[in-house]
Amino acid sequence: MDNEGIQPVQWQDNQLLLLDQRLLPEQTVYLHYSKSTEAADAITDMVVRGAPAIGVTAAYAMVLAAREAMALSANNWQQELTPFIDYLAKARPTAINLHWAIVRMQACIETLATNNDTALATLLDEAKAIHSEDIQANKTMGEFASALLPENCGVLTHCNAGALATGGYGTALGVIRSGVANGKITKVYADETRPWLQGARLTAWELLQDNIPVTLIADSAAAYLMQQGKIQWIVVGSDRIAANGDVANKIGTYSLAVAAKYHGIKFMVAAPTSTIDMDMPSGDGIPIESRPKDEVLAVMGHRVAAEGADSWNPVFDVTPASLVDAIVTEKGVVEQPTTDKILAMMQSGT
């Protein structure tokens, strides 16, 4: 159950390899990137998605950019990086892990001399460290979260917060993997997650790779599922968590949290501390990305809406902290999150 087989982000032969998640589950295709701007575009174009995976990809993209900058100027390559960093930062504005990875790689760059070979090797080591730390964080939070679950637990997850959305193993799906392995979780439901169908295409596929049975439901069936008493916990990931515990996640998460509160269902957010934005006091300030209208008007490129119909396509929504029962990170669990509780956890040495 270590999920070594699913590796959405890889570094091989001095290139970045990304599993093209737009083609799953029909095709398993890795795209090769040797140019930094193309790697940044892969984030925008949804080749890779999920906040932690975006952060890992951004770190490797910075290595590609550094290599290009060194070819332009051996002595001033750090300055040559500035335009690319600005370009990369705009790839997916809601996912704070993107910004976090850029800042961490910049901090590494500031320590480097102009010895190109040594500097590039150091920068690559930093990107690989970000990658491996994410996988370990996912496994740790999976164990923390499993302890919260009752026996014979049914869970519902939304979007894809698994190995495909991270460096490996997964946040919400890491919780599910650990819960199944520990005998806690006996039933897994997944929302299909319109309009990109990450639940149907990615989460269902990923769980089945680990021989974990999954039942897919339409997004609009979730409240009725709760009413039927089928689940005890909702487990989701996050693209950004504000300092007070407000959570930005895939559109539809907020409605799940509202329905869960009404039905007495527990609501869990699993995310690494790199997803927590302590500079964002509340969810009111989180930028919410919108994507093209055609994504709602069509399904997998085939238009289904009546000609002339308009659409609104926010990618994320914000769930207030008051609707969240637990935020699980690699540093520990924050129940009924508040600013003070999150700050204490972030400052802990655990």
Tally of CA atoms within 13 A in the half-sphere of 332 that contains its CB: 13
Q: What number is the average pLDDT over the span 96-114?
A: 91
- What is the structure's pLDDT at 113? 73
| pLDDT at 4 exceeding the cut of 60 | no
Q: Within the chain, which residue ranges are assigned CATH 1.20.120.420?
A: 9-138
| pLDDT at 127 exceeding the cut of 70 | yes
Classified as helix, coil or strand, 139 is helix
| pLDDT at 2 exceeding the cut of 80 | no
Q: Are strands 240-242 and 15-19 parallel, antiparallel or unpaired?
A: unpaired
Looking at 191, 210, 239, 277, which residue is catalytic?
A: 239
CB 131 within 8 A of CB 171: no
- Asked if residue 25 has a cis previous peptide bond (ω within 30° of 0), the answer is yes
Residue 41 annotated among the catalytic residues of the structure: no
| pLDDT at 1 exceeding the cut of 50 | no
- What is the structure's pLDDT at 253? 98
Q: Within the chain, which residue ranges are assigned CATH 3.40.50.10470?
A: 142-347
Q: Please state which architecture CATH assigns to domain 142-347.
A: 3-Layer(aba) Sandwich (3.40)
Going by pLDDT thresholds of 50, 70 and 90, the confidence category of residue 116 is confident
Token representation of residue 317: 């929504």
| pLDDT at 158 exceeding the cut of 70 | yes
CB 91 within 8 A of CB 54: yes
| pLDDT at 40 exceeding the cut of 50 | yes
- What is the structure's pLDDT at 131? 96
pTM over 0.85: yes
Q: What number is the average pLDDT over the span 206-235?
A: 97
What kind of fold does domain 9-138 have according to CATH? Four Helix Bundle (Hemerythrin (Met), subunit A) (1.20.120)
Q: What number is the average pLDDT over the span 92-98?
A: 89
R_g (Cα) of the chain, nearest Å: 20
| pLDDT at 332 exceeding the cut of 80 | yes
- What is the structure's pLDDT at 5? 62
Q: What percentage of the chain has pLDDT greater than the value 90?
A: 87
| pLDDT at 125 exceeding the cut of 80 | yes
Mean pLDDT in the chain?
94
Going by pLDDT thresholds of 50, 70 and 90, the confidence category of residue 21 is very high
- What is the structure's pLDDT at 95? 84
